[in-house]
Amino acid sequence: MERDIFKKQSELTECLNRYRAEYYDRNAPSVSDEIYDRLFDELTNMEKQTGICMTNSPTQTVGYPVVSKLEKTRHEIPLLSLDKTKSSEELMLFQANHQVMLMLKLDGLTVKLTYENGCLAEAATRGDGDEGEIITHNACGIGGIPAQIPYPERLVVTGEAFIRPSDFEVLKAALLDSNGKPYKNGRNLAAGSVRLLDASVCKERKVSFMPFNVLEGYSELTTKSQKLYQLPSLGFSICKFVVSKRVLSRNEIEGGIEQLQQFARANDIPIDGVVVSYNDIAFSKSCGRTEHHYKDGLAYKFEDEMFESRLQLIEWTPTRSGEMAPVAVFDTVEIDGCEVSRASLHNLSFIEALELMPGNRLLVSKRNMIIPHIEENLDRGSFALEKIMPHDCPCCGHPTRIHESKGRAEDGEERIVKTLHCDNSACETRRLRQFVHFVSQKAMDIEGLSEATLEKLIGRGWIHTYMDIYRLNEHKSELVQMEGFGEKSWERLWNAIQKSRNTTFERYLISMDIPMIGNTNSKALCGVFSGSLEDFENAVYQGYDFTQLPDFGETLHNNIHEWFRDEENIFIWDELKRMINIEKKIVNETPVRQDNPFVGRTIVVTGKVEPYTREGMNELIASLGAYAASSVSRKTDYLVCGEKAGSKLAKARELGLTVLEPAEFFCMAGVA
């Protein structure tokens, strides 16, 4: 009965607002004043009976307020986002043994409503999560927000302000954004509308509100769903959700997602995914948070949206290895609130497969909601490889060449990959990239030598080789006269250079830029050769077989030996070695427990495993007498799967490998 009364009240509110618009806005009333007054009195009595009065009720709104600016407000409980995934399998793993809620992920702007003594005290945007903007004046222009509720205690709800797809189709034909362009989606229009200074304009945008969480209030209830079920009796239309009664299979989760999608389509609700979260409030709080998101839920995003654009040109830049990196420059498109106009084209084979030519219409996405990607070329048929690739390096003018090697496509099929190369070792851009790598944090770690500074020093002829960095004091008098430099800047830089003279086996090896030698492989070699550059070098000259090491394949083995066949590389290796000091490797005296199950095994870690950094996990694995590998293969014994697991999890399941959750791994390792 209570719901029937409120439904009639909502319909009467909508009806009277329509009559009022006909009378005041269009000067074309469809009912007499007598009928309007009778319905108005009926609504007034109904509001007294239910204790609910909507912000857009004609009994409340005799006008729409205007403010001069939006004031700021702090969120006592931070309004953080959730981590994202596109894997239904990850949702299945996420639920563990807990009851979960599957809820529509509304596509709009998060808004927080605060009620005191049954009255709306404040409406605010999410902002950066810690601080938002007060939009209380616009509450009367947003549908679905009660001004008065029959709940005397403090109540704080969060929800989404959005514009229904059918309304957006009508609105977008007449409205322009701040850049004078048509709005591209309802989310942007909703976000801009709730932040307008004039509530009457906000009202015209047909913005609606739906709550999806109760932050404060109903403290006696222990689950999120119980609290949400209280809101319809207060005048809210809550966001659609379903609650699990047991652990769900992957098929059941996918079925639930499809059910929610169908509901959204049928009810004209804009969504961009589904949220899965733990229903138990106490357990949710125990999950903690990061700076960016709460850990009690996952936002399942649908397939990447694609946006049409037009290719302007392809830029080619030599990398430090000499391979030319192609980048597509296209007409700007907005994806997930960000303007995107560039995307990597990977290699010649990728360009050839899409038949890309300037002027072609493209479909662009942001894969995994992060990386811009060219998905399709809508104007195939006029491709000419000779026209699209530069025959001379755009940086040094040296002739380019096409290199072919074996690789794998996205579907796993082996194929020939074409790449374009500049073989000029003196190419300025290529050399600059090499120096940037040499001074980087993971290599020699020389703070203060930015790419811009290196470019200036190279341009003045003060740096030709890595060794010249350690002789920069010869140019001190000139260097301190450079724009942006002075005595203090010089002192900081020179101290950083001197500090880098004491380095580690791993950093030195990484700085040499041997292809495929990064953090993981340099640590492995450090362990094998006890941190001795001489022992490593002698092993290379004696034909050491690196494929016998875990995670070292034939390609990496060949890379190491080929690098040491280059006389220039050997000269740099020997000269630089005289200028630096390799810190002695501290041998771990703690004996490895031979009864732990990981001795001699190969372990790969994927995702985030708190409280450890990746470096910390690798050290822990090494302390167990195991090898920390960087990629999954048939040689892998265990995969430790943390948050935001990537493709390594799928590969491990494909190979039938043992997958451990962090808690299982720590338990087996005897780590508290």
Q: What is the pLDDT of residues 239-264, one digit of tens each?
A: 999 999 999 998 999 999 999 999 99
* pLDDT exceeds 80 at position 590: no
* pLDDT exceeds 50 at position 385: yes
* pLDDT exceeds 50 at position 1: no
**Reported confidence tier of residue 585, pLDDT bands at 50, 70, 90:** low
d(CA 200, CA 207): 12
Handedness of CA 635, 638, 641, 642 (dihedral sign): negative
- DSSP letter at 234? G
Q: Which residues of 631-657 are buried (b: 16+ CB within 10 A; e: fewer)?
A: ebeeebbbbbbbbebeebbebbeeeeb
d(CA 133, CA 119): 19
Q: Specify whether the CB–CB gap between 222 and 228 falls below 8 A.
A: no
Distance of CA 145 to the CA centre of its chain: 32
d(CA 490, CA 439): 16
Q: What is the mean pLDDT of residues 562-579?
A: 91
Q: Specify whether the CB–CB gap between 186 and 165 falls below 8 A.
A: yes
- Of the segments 21-30, 51-60, 413-422, 569-578, which one has the largest average pLDDT value? 569-578
Alpha carbon distances (Å) from 303 to 102, 225, 337: 18, 28, 17
Q: Specify whether the CB–CB gap between 358 and 312 falls below 8 A.
A: yes
Q: What is the mean pLDDT of the chain?
A: 86
* pLDDT exceeds 80 at position 643: no
DSSP sequence for 198-244: BHHHHHHTTEEEEEEEEEES-TT--BHHHHHHHGGGGT--PPPEEE-
240 among known catalytic residues: no
Select the more confidently predicted residue: 370 or 139: 139
pLDDT at position 413 is: 59
- Of the segments 134-138, 176-180, 333-337, 629-633, which one has the largest average pLDDT value? 134-138
d(CA 595, CA 618): 20
Q: Specify whether the CB–CB gap between 151 and 181 falls below 8 A.
A: no
Q: 240-244, 386-390, 502-506, 662-666: lowest mean pLDDT where?
A: 662-666
Number of CB atoms found within 10 A of residue 297's CB? 22
* pLDDT exceeds 90 at position 596: no
* pLDDT exceeds 90 at position 540: yes
**Reported confidence tier of residue 659, pLDDT bands at 50, 70, 90:** confident
Q: Specify whether the CB–CB gap between 239 and 210 falls below 8 A.
A: yes
pLDDT at position 635 is: 80
**Reported confidence tier of residue 337, pLDDT bands at 50, 70, 90:** low
pLDDT digit string (tens) for 359-370?
999 999 877 666
pLDDT at position 89 is: 85
Q: What is the mean pLDDT of residues 1-7?
A: 66
d(CA 316, CA 328): 9
Q: Specify whether the CB–CB gap between 127 and 194 falls below 8 A.
A: no
% residues pLDDT > 70 (the chain): 93
What are 446's two structure tokens? Answer: 């020389």
Q: What is the mean pLDDT of residues 583-594?
A: 61
d(CA 121, CA 118): 9
Q: Which residues are within 8 A (CB) of 88 and not within 5 positions of it... i.e. 6 or more apart?
A: 250, 253, 254, 257, 300
- Of the segments 10-14, 268-272, 644-648, which one has the largest average pLDDT value? 268-272
What are 183's two structure tokens? Answer: 């709005």
What are 537's two structure tokens? Answer: 């070098």
The reply to whether the predicted model has a pTM over 0.85 is no
* pLDDT exceeds 90 at position 583: no
d(CA 637, CA 633): 9
* pLDDT exceeds 60 at position 589: no
Q: 25-39, 177-191, 334-348, 353-367: lowest mean pLDDT where?
A: 25-39
d(CA 40, CA 99): 45
Q: What is the mean pLDDT of residues 631-648?
A: 80
* pLDDT exceeds 80 at position 588: no
pLDDT at position 648 is: 81
pLDDT at position 627 is: 82
Q: 57-61, 102-106, 561-565: lowest mean pLDDT where?
A: 57-61
Number of CB atoms found within 10 A of residue 276's CB? 28
Number of CB atoms found within 10 A of residue 537's CB? 16
* pLDDT exceeds 60 at position 451: yes
* pLDDT exceeds 60 at position 408: no
Find the catalytic residue in 105, 203, 224, 227.
105
pLDDT at position 524 is: 85
pLDDT at position 420 is: 92
Select the more confidently predicted residue: 270 or 586: 270
pLDDT digit string (tens) for 280-331?
999 999 988 877 788 899 988 876 678 889 999 999 988 888 889 999 999 9
Strands 271-278 and 293-301: antiparallel
pLDDT digit string (tens) for 509-518?
999 999 889 8
d(CA 495, CA 489): 10
Q: Specify whether the CB–CB gap between 200 and 141 falls below 8 A.
A: yes
What are 352's two structure tokens? Answer: 């050839």
Select the more confidently predicted residue: 7 or 148: 148
pLDDT at position 591 is: 58
pLDDT digit string (tens) for 454-481?
988 988 889 989 999 999 999 999 988 8
pLDDT digit string (tens) for 544-554?
999 888 778 88
